[in-house]
Amino acid sequence: MSSLVSAQGVTKRFGSFTAVDNVSFEVEAGRILGLIGPNGAGKTTLLKALLGLTDCEGELSVMGLDPFKQRKELMQNICFIADVAVLPRWIKVTQLLDYVEAIHPNFSRKRAEELLRQTKIKSDSKVKELSKGMVTQLHLSIIMSIDAKLLVLDEPTLGLDIIFRKEFYANLLNDYFDEERTILVTTHQVEEIENLLTDIMFINDGRILLDSPMETLGDTYIEVATSGEDADRARGLRPIAENQMFGKSNMLFEGISREHLEGLGELRTPSVADLFVAKVKGARS
Amino acid sequence: MITNQLALIKREIWEHRSIWVTPAAIAVIVTLGVLAMLMFASGFAAELDAAIFGAQNLAGEPERKAALTAFFLSTSWVFIIALMILTVFYSLDSLYAERKDKSILFWRSLPVTDAETVISKLITAIFVLPAAAVLGIIGTHIVNLVIASLWVSMKGGDGGMLVWGSVSFLDNWLAAFIVVVASGIWMSPFVGWFLLVSAYTKRSPLLMAFMPLILIGLLEGIILRTHVFAENVLARGDGLPIFRTVDIERFIETEEWRVGEGASSLLTHLDVVQFISSPAMWAGVAVCALLSTGAIYVRRFRDES
């Protein structure tokens, strides 16, 4: 399958600070990739490079286009919601629909109006009169009415309550996603989306720490809850992280087969959050 | 391209309501002023009252035409001065507000180039704002003529003939249109500069736009003891090459002491050929293009994160 996104040695510097450092990865069509990283890790800068909003060094191709040089063509097939990208507060809902309809060749106003009818948003309301949750609903309704190949979400549910967050992802999966479409999402609330992801990528200090399909994550990373002599034997296998809980040692192993770990304790697949913490701490030590 | 431009300009009109609210507000103020004046004057004497709109007390047709043209001219200048102030504030806000309210990423998430966006703001500043001012001028004139003719009729005069029959509509409106558009083009280097500042500055666009201009003028005067920048840039507004040299004979024919054609025809004072063939006008357009390209470049390369 051909790659929808291809990055080779992508680097972005701001003066002496390197926000994205020689990053290479591929994203295939029909995947949901979670880009996870702490604040200042370089996630947003990388997404901006993918969206053609900032220039960068290295080779970057999105749907065969150079994002920075061909941003207009690219934006006909990409949608994005960024954490800091708020809708203009002065605009009315109808004006927003009028504008996107005039500008975007792949926008269906009918679909947007159908989606908005399912919410409490009134068509003559101004964005500044809506709650943050409603603004996100409005933005999502517009995005879901655009027939785009790639959807980029940068902390899309930041500041929303749990009900809106759940609805947001449910709508996205049920009404939007199919094998023709690809979603790239960054979030702090990784537990809420890890079940949706097909692929995961960790980024820290501008570098990729992990790039893996979710289905093979359980083969590569295994967590063992152990104690006593078994814990000492397990430590001999050099876990990448260890913490104590309820009198047991939880050790995280990378690249050690399940057979080697059998009998040392209770085996389980680590959560993405635990794995993320282990990888980031490992990278810092 | 044209569809995008129309949508982008429409967006500017939605966002900057002052584009149409200001001319509408001026129209209302002028009309109320005229009404107040009529009522005030009628309190003194019926003759004075009727004379205000050049009715029967005035000597003849040329005098009536001149009186109405003077009214047209004075109200038009109110709009033109307001337009100049509005253009400064609009241009400085146009690329600054979207960064301030952080909506720039939303606008840039749609298939519109930075060049298209900046061009739409340039067109709005140079053509849409003047067009709104001209509509305001025309609207104000029509409403005030209706009021004046009704008033004169109420006082026993023939409002239709004395007021409507004495107006050079096309002459005056065309003159207002030409002056407003020519002013926009003539002052376009300032619009380009304001757009660049608007795209670049992190705070106080008004201060950041005017401070360098004033400083350059001052420093040139102090260090070089010359005033080239002040005369050619800061005082550019004085040299709009659309006006003919003022000739008093066109207003009053002194030999016979009667009102001249120039008093009732504003068009006779304008010289479009002189404007189009002015090197300073074309130099200004080139500077505007250069500065606007700078604004496009800044919007494109600036990282707001």
Q: Give me the pLDDT at residue A67, please.
A: 92
Can you list the pairs that B199-206 forms with residues at least 24 positions away whose Cβ atoms lie under 8 Å?
B199/B95, B199/B96, B199/B118, B199/B294, B199/B295, B199/B298, B199/B299, B199/B302, B200/B295, B200/B298, B200/B302, B201/B96, B205/B92, B205/B93, B205/B96, B206/B88, B206/B89, B206/B92
Q: How many domains does chain A have?
A: 2
Interchain proximity B105–A82, CB inside 8 Å: yes
Which residues of chain A lie closer than 8 angstroms to B11, CB-CB?
95, 99
The reply to whether A32 and A154 lie within a common domain is: yes
Q: Give me the pLDDT at residue A22, please.
A: 92
pLDDT for residue B304 is more than 60:
no
Domain end, chosen from A162, A186, A205, is at: A205
Residue A93 lies in a domain: yes
Q: B299: distance to nearest CA of chain A, Å?
A: 10
Give the SS3 label for residue A241.
strand
In 3D, which of A7, A15, A107 has the Cα closest to residue A67?
A7
| Stretch among A231-240, A242-251, B18-27, B238-247 having the lowest mean pLDDT | B238-247
Which residues of chain A lie closer than 8 angstroms to B7, CB-CB?
98-99, 102-103
The reply to whether A122 and A222 lie within a common domain is: no
The reply to whether A95 and A136 lie within a common domain is: yes
Q: Give me the pLDDT at residue A171, please.
A: 79
Helix then strand count (H, E) for chain A reads 11, 13
* Residue ranges making up the domain that contains A276: 216-284
CATH number (domain holding residue A155): 3.40.50.300
Residues, chain A = 285
pLDDT for residue B8 is more than 70:
yes
Q: B106: distance to nearest CA of chain A, Å?
A: 5
Q: Which two tokens stand for residue A54?
A: 């900032």
Mutate one of B17, B94, B109 to test the A interface: name it (highest A CB count within 10 A). Answer: B109
Q: Which two tokens stand for residue A147?
A: 């027939």
Find the mean pLDDT for residues B43-52: 55
Residue B43, φ and ψ in degrees, nearest 5: -70, -20
Eight-class DSSP state of A210:
E
Residue A163 lies in a domain: yes
Among chain B, residues having any CB pair with chain A shorter than 8 Å are 3-4, 6-7, 10-11, 14-15, 98, 101-103, 105-113, 301, 303-305
Which residues of chain A lie closer than 8 angstroms to B18, CB-CB?
none
Please report which helix (H) or strand (E) contains residue B266, including its range.
none
Q: A220: distance to nearest CA of chain B, Å?
A: 35
Mutate one of B16, B103, B113, B117 to test the A interface: name it (highest A CB count within 10 A). Answer: B103
The reply to whether A201 and A228 lie within a common domain is: no
Q: Give me the pLDDT at residue A158, please.
A: 75
Which residues of chain A lie closer than 8 angstroms to B4, CB-CB?
102-103
Per-residue pLDDT band for B281 (boundaries 50, 70, 90) equals very high
pLDDT for residue B291 is more than 60:
yes
Strand partners, A185: A34, A153
Which residues of chain A lie closer than 8 angstroms to B108, CB-CB?
53, 71
Residue in chain B lying closest to A77 (CA):
B111
Q: Which carries the bigger pLDDT value, residue B206 or residue B42? A: B206
Q: Give me the pLDDT at residue B252, please.
A: 63
Domain end, chosen from A162, A179, A205, is at: A205
Domain end, chosen from A177, A205, A233, is at: A205
Which residues of chain A lie closer than 8 angstroms to B111, CB-CB?
72-76, 103-105
Interchain proximity B101–A89, CB inside 8 Å: yes
Listed as ranges, residues in chain A with pLDDT below 70 are: 1, 83-85, 283-285
Interchain proximity A51–B109, CB inside 8 Å: yes
Interchain proximity B6–A102, CB inside 8 Å: yes
Residue A70 lies in a domain: yes
User: CB contacts < 8 Å between A and B, how many?
Assistant: 80
Interchain proximity B305–A45, CB inside 8 Å: yes
The reply to whether A29 and A91 lie within a common domain is: yes
Interchain proximity B305–A90, CB inside 8 Å: no
Mutate one of B113, B303, B304 to test the A interface: name it (highest A CB count within 10 A). Answer: B303
Per-residue pLDDT band for B35 (boundaries 50, 70, 90) equals confident
Which residues of chain B lie closer than 8 angstroms to A74, CB-CB?
111
Interchain proximity B112–A103, CB inside 8 Å: yes
Find the mean pLDDT for residues B223-241: 85
Which residues of chain A lie closer than 8 angstroms to B107, CB-CB?
88
Residue A16 lies in a domain: yes
Mutate one of B4, B13, B105, B301 to test the A interface: name it (highest A CB count within 10 A). Answer: B105
DSSP string, B36-47: HHHHHHHTT-HH
Residue A210 lies in a domain: no
Which residues of chain B lie closer than 8 angstroms to A44, CB-CB?
305
Residue A81 lies in a domain: yes
The reply to whether A165 and A233 lie within a common domain is: no
The reply to whether A29 and A73 lie within a common domain is: yes
The reply to whether A116 and A235 lie within a common domain is: no
- % of residues, chain B, pLDDT over 90: 48
C-alpha–C-alpha distance, residues B153 and B165, integer Å? 13
pLDDT for residue B18 is more than 70:
yes
Interchain proximity A48–B305, CB inside 8 Å: yes
User: What pTM value is reported for the model?
Assistant: 0.84
Average pLDDT, chain B: 84
- Dump pLDDT digits (tens) for B203-229: 899 999 999 999 999 999 999 888 888
B270: left (phi over 0), alpha (psi -120 to 50) or beta: beta
| Stretch among A59-73, A177-191, B91-105, B110-124 having the lowest mean pLDDT | A177-191
Which residues of chain A lie closer than 8 angstroms to B110, CB-CB?
75, 100, 103-104
Contact B103, A85 (CB under 8 A): yes
Please report which helix (H) or strand (E) contains residue B233, including its range.
none
The reply to whether A276 and A229 lie within a common domain is: yes
Q: Is B255 exposed, middle or buried (0-12, 13-18, 19+ CB in 10 A)?
A: exposed
